[in-house]
Structures are given as C-alpha cells and as structure tokens.
Amino acid sequence: MNKLLPEKNMPRINFLIIFFLLTILKNYKVPSAYDYFLVFVIFVALILNVFPIIKYKNKGFEVNRLSLFIWGITFAFLTISTFVYDQKKSFIFAFTPFFLTSLYVYIMIMKFGEKFKKQFLTQFMIVMNIFSILNLYQVVFHKPFLLGLLADKFYMYQYSAIGTSSFRTISVFGHPILFGLFLIFAFVCNLFLLKSGMWKYLLQVIVVLNIYSTGSRSSWIAFSLVLMLLLVLKLFSFKKINVKITRKNILSMYLSFCIILTGIGFLIINISTIANTIMTRFGDSLSNNSTDISNLQRTGAIELIMHNISESSLLHQLFGNGMFSVSNFMLNHPIIIKNFASTDNQYLTWLYEYGILGLLLMIIWIISLLLTNIVKHPTTKYNKICFYLLIVVSLELYFFEGIGAAWTDLSILIGFSVAVLSIKQKEIKSDAL
C-alpha cells in the first residue's frame, strides 16, 4: 500500500522540535530525574506512532539494508554490554535518545514522507536563527544567558573569562564546540531552505559572526571544510539562473548587495583583530613542539590509548574494554589536565571501549550513509542537509565526545540525520548537492 497520511494530520509544531528544546533545559539547573523524563517523552511519542505505521506503509521508500543491519547490531551490542558491565542507567541516558529518535523518524517518514523532513528542518532552522540572533547579546556583553540558572559545569571552565573579550559564546547549549556545531547546521539549513534575498544573507552573516564568537577551532575547521565542499559541488553542478527584472527583485538584490558589502567592510576593518584572535586560538597547536594545553591533552590521550591497545590482549583489542570504561581509565592516567575523564575524541573513545571492530563498524556506517546519498541514488534537499550535518558531526567528533548523556540535543539531530539518510526515496528528481 503506497498511502501517506495527509499533511493536515501532522501537528503544527514538530514533536522533535519540542523534544529538542526540552533537552536544552538539561544545561540549566533541573532535577536529576530530568533525564528519565526525556526518555519517557520520546518513548511515549514512539509508542503513539508505532501501530498506525502498519496501515500507512509507503512503497516509495526503501530502507538501506546495511544501515539497518548496523543499527540493529549496534543496539544489540550496546544492550548486551549494558548488562555485562552493569551500566543500565548510563545506557538509558546516553544511547536511548538516539535509538528512539531514529526509530521515531523512520516511522514518521513512512507515514508522512518528505513533509515530515521539511517540517522538522524548517522549524529547526527557525529555532536556530532565533538563538543566533539572541546570541548577539553574548557577543556584545561576554556573558551567558540566565547565568544564575545555568548548571555550574557549563560555565565554570571559563568563569574568569566572563565579561571579557576572551569569553567564548555558548548560547543555550552549554559549550562553545556544541554551539558552533549547531550554528553550522543552521548555516546549511539556511542555505538550502531559504530563498535568496536580503533576509537570507543577513541571517547567514549573523550565523558566521556567531561561529567566530565561539572561539571553537574545531567548528572553524569543520565550517571551512563544509564551505569548500559546498563550493566544489556547486561548481560541478552550475546552472544558469534566470531572474525576472521587477521592482521587488531589484530592491531585494540591492539590499542583499548592501548586506554583503557591509559584511565585507566589517571583515576588512577588523581583519587584524580577527586574524590575531584566530592565530591566538590556534597558537602553536599545529606545531610538533606545541605548548597548547588542549592540544597536548588530546595528543597525549591518543598516545596513551594507542599504547594501551597495543599492550592489551587480542580480545580487548577487538572488542574493547566495555561501555563507559574510558572515563575511569583517563582519571587513573592523567596527562596534562587533572581529573579530566574524557579523551576529547569520540573515535578514540569508541576504540578503547568497543575495540577495533566497534570503531570499524561505526566508520563503515558513516561512510555507507554518505556514499549512498551522494553516489548511488537520487536525493532531495532535505537529504542533502542531513548529508552535510553528518559530515559536520563526523569532523567535530574528532575534537570532543559528542555521543553521550551530556549532549542529548545532539543525539536528536544525529538520530534524525541517520534515519533520513538510511531511507531511500524512489523515483524522485535529483538536484545537485
């Protein structure tokens, strides 16, 4: 049966947007049981939509079998590890949101098709542009929103920088890296979903300014690489654009030109300050003789984990040391920063906890999703957005541990993107990436 529910049956506000906003509240002083509430909410939403899928199957969609297989194997492996290492609570908080979200998205796409993707990405874009505009407060005054309500761990690491130009903006996301990542998401959504014109260019300028204000080197790198990829793919798919000469279009082009010119002028006037800020942030971090603490911590963690893997038994090399085991290992083997329980590298964490096979499985999953959405079959602009989101996440995960209980909001976006990229839509007109 190739029948979809009509768009009018969809709620005006996408449930995932509500859930996304609820997860952001974790960054503030909420009860410890709040994580249970979040899992309960997504679980109920899933249950309420499971049974209608039996009636509204759509033969216009086909699931990527490799992605589905890896999804199932990963879920089974993590579930077994949960009981073996007695990490049931941690599993519920860290991984359940991703699995439930991806399953929920699959069901909703089967029910509503492209309309569901469009609704979520459009509303996500609106929310992120609002956060981007409101973050100008932090850019100017160098302090977080509602500082007194923000959880201590999300500002104490740069407490001395509050009120100074050294402050790295975080919006409502608790960390500059995460905020930078979501801003890149917003930039991509704006690029594909907004019509060219004054407002699009103005919003993009504000987003870029905010990416700069995060001071996140990983976000700067990821953003630069995505821009280069977008430019290269655009050059290979250049199309002639026909624009009607009307008063409205002339005014729109004039205002857009003024905004772009203003942005370029601001860049030229402040080029020295911007260049000094970037050079200060990177410092000698790319040098073999680096003295950058963050860089030394990260490279030290790589050396420590790789040495441990090489000295481990074949069983531990292949299957790792168990779920969430890397935290205790890092605490027992301090590098530069004391009491630092993270590798600041998701791939390194996967390698230590789940072994070579676990890391290889994740890499194959990511590559298969990217390749099947750029090479093997037609795609829509909503899939393209998720394609770029997955690229950004894959790059950023080298610089922080983004998969876990601390970043449920990111788990929602990853779950959505993975589900969208795992579903092939047949007989659609492909437009260039």
pLDDT digits (tens, 9 = 90+) for 73-118: 888 888 887 777 777 777 888 888 999 999 999 888 888 888 999 9
Distance CA 130, CA 139 (A): 15
Note whether residue 136 is domain-resident.
yes
pLDDT of residue 168: 92
Q: Cα separation of 372 and 366, whole Å? A: 10
Whether 90 is in a domain gets the answer yes
Give the integer Cα–Cα distance in Å for 80 and 323.
10
The residue behind tokens 């870029």 is 208
404-414: pLDDT as tens digits: 767 899 999 99
Integer-rounded Cα radius of gyration of the chain: 22
Residue 303 included in any domain: no
Q: What is the pLDDT of residue 288?
A: 54
Number of H helices, E strands in the chain: 19, 2
Does any domain span residue 1?
no
Q: What are the C-alpha distances in Å from 247 to residues 194, 200, 243, 244, 253? A: 20, 19, 12, 10, 10
pLDDT of residue 349: 92
Residue 277: predicted pLDDT:
56
Residue 342 in any domain: the answer is: no
CA torsion through residues 23, 21, 103, 187, sign: negative
Residues of the chain with pLDDT under 50: 1, 54, 240, 430, 432-433
pLDDT for res 272: 57
245 CB contacts (<8 Å, ≥6 apart)?
A: none
Residue at 226 is within a domain: yes
Q: Count the domains in the chain.
A: 1
Query: Is residue 48 in some structural domain?
Result: yes
Spatial CA neighbour of 383 closest among 319, 430, 340: 430
Host domain of residue 159: 7-295+367-425
φ, ψ dihedrals at 241, nearest 5°: -105, 125
What is the C-alpha to C-alpha distance for residues 186 and 170, in angstroms, rounded to an integer?
15
Please tell me the distance from the alpha carbon of residue 70 to that of residue 83, in angstroms, as a whole number: 20
Task: Report how far residue 425's alpha carbon sits from residue 58's, in angstroms, rounded to the nearest whole number.
Answer: 10
- 217, 281 contact by CB (below 8 A): yes
